[in-house]
Chain A
Amino acid sequence: MSELTDEKIVIAIQKGNTEVFGVLIERYEAKLKRYAHKFLNYQEEIEDLVQDVFIKSYTNIQSFDVTQRFSPWIYRIAHNTFVNELKRKKQGGFILFDVDTILPNLPSKETADDEALSGELREELDSLLTEIPAKYREVLVLYYFEELSYQEISEVLQIPVTTVGVRINRGRIKLKFCFENKQKKYNKNIL
C-alpha cells in the first residue's frame, strides 16, 4: 500500500477500505504539523488542530476529485482550519478578498533563481518567518518548506497564480528587510 499514490489510496477509501486512511495520516502528519507550526506561529494545540484536519479530510473524502492531486486538497483543508483558528484567537487579519487578489498582477513564474535561493534561504526563513505577516508567511512556508508549486499554492489558497508569485516576492523582500535589521542589531551589539 505504501507504494501507491495518494490519489489511489483515496480511491480505495472512497470504495470503503477505510483502514488505508492510516497511510495518508502517516504521509501527511509531519508535514501538516510543520505547516501548522510555521503558519500559526505557536506550538500549543497543534496536535489537536492537525487531528481536526485529518477528521475533516476523512469526513469529506467523497468530495475529493480523484483526477486532481491530493496534496493541495488536504493543504486547503489545513489552511481553512488554521485560518479559522487564527480568527478564533483574533490573530488573523484575514479578510474576505485581499487587495492583491482584486487587481491583475504581472505574471510571476517559478524560476531557477527560486530553486537556487530555496536551499540558501531555508535556514534564514525559519528564524525570521515569525516576523512577517501571515499571508506572506503562509506562501513562503508552502513554497519553500512544503515544496508546493505556484499552481498548487494557488489551489490551496484559492487565489490567482500571479498573486502567489507576488506574495512570494514580497515575502522574500520582507524577510530580507528583517534579516538586514537583525544583522544591523547584531553588528551594533558586537561594536
Chain B
Amino acid sequence: MNTKLDILKKIQSGEIDMKPRWHFVLKSLLLLLSIVTIILLVIYILSFIFFIFRQSGVGFVSLYGFRGLSIFVINSPWLLIVLAVTLVVVLQLLVHKYSFSYHQPLLYSFLGLILLVLFGAYAIGQTQFNPRLQGFVKDRNIPVFGPLYRGIDERRPESIVFGTIIEITNDGFVLESDRGETLHIIITRVTKGLPNKIYTIDETVLVFGDRKGETIIALGVRPAPVDFDFNKHDKNFGRGLQK
C-alpha cells in the first residue's frame, strides 16, 4: 500500500475534496454566535432568578435562621438554576475550543465564565429590565414570558408578606399587604430586623414569620425592595392611604 499515491489518486479523481474556506468561516461564526447567545441567555436566566428572589422575598428570608434557610431552599426556582448551570457547562465546552481557554486550567476558565455571567446578571439587576418586562407581560398573553413572570407571585410562600404599615400597635404594627389583606404583625424579642428599629406608618416592608389567620408572629422584618410592584394585585392598593 502506497499512502502517497493512493491519496493523490483519490484527490485527482475527486473522491476526496477539500472543504471550502467559507465552510470553516461559517462554522467559526456559528460557534461564536452560539457562545454569545448562551452567555446572554444565562445572564437573563440568572437576572430572572435574582428578580424572583427579590420579588417573592425568598432571597431575603435565608438570613433568618434555619427556618428562613429551609424556606429559601424549598422555594428556590431549581429548574431555572439547573438550566443555568447546564448552560454554563455547555458554554465551557464551547469556549474550550479556543486556545485562550484550553491553555488555562479548566478551573480558571470556568470561574471566569461564572464571574462573567454573574456580573452580567448583577448589571441587569441594576436596571429596570425585569420590572419593565414584568409590567409589559402582566396583562398580555405572551408565551413563555407571561407565565414566567406571573408565576413569581405564586411562588411566594404564605410566611412571607409584603405590605405597607398602616398603624403602629403596642406589640408591633398593622400591615396592609399587597394582596389587600389587613394583617396584625407581632414583634417579639426573636424578631430579626434593623437594630433599635422604629417602624413608621407608610413604610413598605417585608415580613417573614408564622402566620395564624390574620396574625403573623414575625421572625424577621426588613424594608421591601424599592422595585417591588405593590400595584400588581390591587390597582387601588395604597391609594386610600394617601387620602
Contacts from A to B (Cβ < 8 Å): 13-14, 18-19, 21-22, 25-26, 29, 47, 50-51, 54-55, 58-63, 96-97, 101-105, 154-155, 158-163
Contact = CB atoms under 8 A, between A and B. Distances in A.
A100 to B, nearest CB: 9
A55 B107 contact: no
Contacts of A22: 4, 7-8
B106 interface: yes
B6 interface: yes
B11 interface: yes
Nearest to B16: A55
Interface string B97-137: 00100111111100000000000000000000000000000
B66 interface: no
B122 to A, nearest CB: 26
A159 B101 CA distance: 9
Nearest to B12: A18
Given A50-B3, A104-B108, A155-B99, A21 B19 contact: no
Contacts of B17: 59
B11 A105 contact: no
Contacts of A54: 3, 7
10 contacts: A22-B7, A29-B3, A51-B3, A54-B3, A59-B16, A59-B17, A60-B19, A97-B106, A103-B107, A158-B99
A115 B134 CA distance: 66
A58 B12 CA distance: 12
Interface stretch (B20-28, B37-45, B165-173): B20-28
A59 B18 contact: yes
Interface of B: 1, 3-4, 6-8, 10-12, 16-21, 23-24, 93, 96, 99, 102-108
B25 to A, nearest CB: 9
Contacts of A154: 102-103
A73 to B, nearest CB: 12
A25 B107 contact: no
A95 to B, nearest CB: 12
A52 B158 CA distance: 65
Nearest to B106: A102
A63 B18 CA distance: 10
Contacts of A105: 105
Nearest to A32: B3
B105 A59 contact: no
Given A18-B11, A51-B7, A62 B18 contact: yes
A47 B1 contact: yes
Contacts, number: 81
B18 A159 contact: no
B3 A101 contact: no
B137 to A, nearest CB: 39
Contact of B21 (A50, A62, A102, A161): A62
Contacts of A26: 4
Nearest to A29: B3
B96 A158 contact: yes
- Find the residue from B1, B4, B6, B99 having the highest chain A CB count within 10 A: B4
Given A158-B102, A160-B103, A25 B19 contact: no
A58 B16 contact: yes
Contacts of B16: 55, 58-59
B112 to A, nearest CB: 13
B24 A25 contact: no
B97 to A, nearest CB: 8
7 residue pairs, one from A and one from B, having the closest CB atoms: A63-B24, A158-B102, A104-B105, A102-B106, A62-B21, A25-B4, A22-B4
Contacts of B3: 25, 29, 47, 50-51, 54
Given A59-B18, A61-B18, A62-B23, A160 B11 contact: no
Given A47-B3, A59-B16, A59-B17, A101 B105 contact: yes
Contacts of A96: 93
Contacts of B6: 51
